[in-house]
Amino acid sequence: MKNWKSAALVMAALAGSVFAADNVGRNVIAESNHRAMEALEADPTLTFDPGSLLVKFRTTRAAGESAADIAALVGGEVVQQYDIVPGLVHMTLTAMSVEDAIALLQTLPEVEYAEPDYFVHHMGIPNDPSFGQLWGMNNSNNFDIDAPQGWDIFTGDANFRVAVIDTGVQYTHPDLSANIWVNPGEIAGNSIDDDGNGYVDDVRGWDFANNDNNPMDDNGHGTHCAGTVAAVGNNGVGVAGVAWRAKVVPLKFLTASGSGSISAALSCLQYCTRTGVKVSNNSWGGGGFSSSFQTALTQAAAIGHVFVAAAGNNGRNNDSSPSYPASYSNDNVIAVASITSSGARSSFSNYGVMSVDVGAPGSNIYSTYPTNSYASLSGTSMASPHAAGVVTMIYAQNPNWTYQQVRQRLFSTVRPISSMNGIVATGGIVNLANALVNNNSNPVVTITAPGNNSAFLGGTSVTFTGTSTDTQDGNLSSGITWTSSLQGAIGSGASFSNATLMVGTHTITARSNDTQGGVGQATISITINPNGLPPIAPSNVRTYRSGAGVNVTWLDRSANEFGFQVVREQRVNGVFTNTTVVGTVGPNATSFFNQPPATGQTWRYAVRSFGAGGSSVLSAWATFSN
């Protein structure tokens, strides 16, 4: 085959035109998918597409320069290239069998490997009808995921997205529509790829089976999975998903028959990496090991993507008989077995103490279904969405975590049950309440400058710096708030300067909050010494009713103040008491609004100015009754 390029050109001329980047006259991707599905319908025993291959070139340059010629060598054309696996090309073939094409292509120096485009299917549903409703969320046998107890802690984040990679989703379903992701970067119907992600008008995900922007479910399987993951909760309609505030991204690659190709599944995963979707539910399987898909999973881990997969419905041990995609060894893949409402392993469920991670409810699961209806289905397909929902909730509660931290939280909080002991790696089933228990550590705050007990002359610009670190949230220094015991808020952030501090001894507090409500703080003491004469006190203080409060006004009589402090007292049994500084305003201010804490009382207000030389005496008092 020394002259394979010449042979390729001859074969290309015989086979017809070769795909080029500017070939927009026909939808090559959709045509390839339809041809593959027609082949599968004609022979349901096929394990891979007899008319296409996945070819990995050693370099992206080789893929760009040689792909069309090499496709012509097997009598086909390039369908698409993938950025999730650089150098990977999906190509058709018509001149030879898949086996012969692989044997030929692997002799070429440009090719790293060639492999079949395996057919995969949604996980089959056993023929044992049931009518249980949401026992997987909560049941008296306690073999559920403790969803209500979890929702008492956290109900999710409406901005967090989870992809359902399946037969599509009935995105108009009344129990799903409010939780369907709408792409904010895309303008519907303008036939432009507004957000530049490679998909035109992908307003609510994509249909990779037909290569269009309408991922509507024509099977039912994907809609059922989506309902368990994230049906709208607390809306008085139907059911509630585990993550009942999350946004579902429908990614269809399985056809109405429930089948699809690995090349289309690759496109779904690539969509997740391009758009930053960090969790996907994958209730499908079949075919053999794909180097291309395993590499894509590795690339997805780089954006923190967790790929939750159904273990399979053959009742077999995945340790000895792998079931893909659940059996890929990537640590961002979570494989899920199924249990019944009595806690037993579902008879159909695959297992494997080395290759299946956790169990979840999967028998007789009630969820959303086309059209605007509900149904009970069984399978590891139904178990996987329970786990994907818990993963979604963990990630949403801890948005700065790595996928490894999310995985560890899921595994470390399972509920051990005997049927999973020695059957799955964790020995238990996923538990939402345990996963969301707030064992959050507080931020650690350090004030690095100025030093404790430092002293400065009034009017000196004092620089404050500090750090805040948190186990879950990382560096929070930019969110530090700084307060003074004499003046209240004086600045924010990791570093700032203030030249308008009052004369006196300040207790300075640096405070930091994390995303889970944890609080950390540090304090120091500094003294500001007088530098010159204090400003003149304001005069003509007046109070006026303003809505539910009082507006205090005054006449500014000084030219060298840093600001003004407003002081309030309350009359109790005929005596004014409870002296309180209610606010500080900047220089040249002449008014301040305050709302006293109680009505039907009498209050009085006074104002002092302050500057480098200290504070003035208080002005005369002005009373106010509310």
Give me the active site residues, please.
Answer: 166, 221, 381
Question: Taking CA 459 as the corner, what is the angle to CA 451 and CA 559, rounded to the nearest 5 degrees?
Answer: 160
d(CA 282, CA 328): 13
Contact present, 310 and 334 (Cβ < 8 Å): no
AA letter at 596 = P
Describe the crossing of helices 4-15 and 60-73 by its angle, rounded to 10 degrees.
60
> Length of the chain, please?
626
Residue 440, classified by CB atoms within 10 Å of its CB into exposed (0-12), middle (13-18) or buried (19+), is middle
With a CB cutoff of 8 Å and minimum separation 6, the contacts of 374 are: 227, 238, 239, 366, 367, 368
Q: List 114's β-bridge partners, or say none.
A: 55
The two beta strands, 504-513 and 495-498, are unpaired
State the CB neighbour count (10 A cutoff) for residue 545.
Answer: 11
d(CA 295, CA 292): 5
d(CA 458, CA 521): 26
d(CA 115, CA 295): 13
Contact present, 57 and 32 (Cβ < 8 Å): no
For 146, which DSSP code?
A: -
Describe the crossing of helices 403-412 and 380-397 by its angle, rounded to 10 degrees.
120
Q: Report DSSP letters for 456-480, one per residue.
A: EETT--EEEEEEEEETTTEE-GGG-
For 225, which DSSP code?
A: H
Q: List 509's β-bridge partners, or say none.
A: 483, 523
d(CA 621, CA 464): 36
Token pair for 411: 């595994």
358: alpha, beta or left, given left = phi > 0 and alpha = psi -120 to 50? beta
With a CB cutoff of 8 Å and minimum separation 6, the contacts of 502 are: 484, 486, 487, 528, 562, 565, 610, 615
Nearest to 362 by CA among 308, 311, 290, 415: 311
End-to-end CA separation in angstroms for the chain: 98
With a CB cutoff of 8 Å and minimum separation 6, the contacts of 525 are: 452, 453, 505, 506, 507, 508
Nearest to 9 by CA among 92, 72, 74, 96: 72
Q: How many CA atoms lie within 13 Å of 67's alpha carbon, on the beta-carbon side?
A: 28
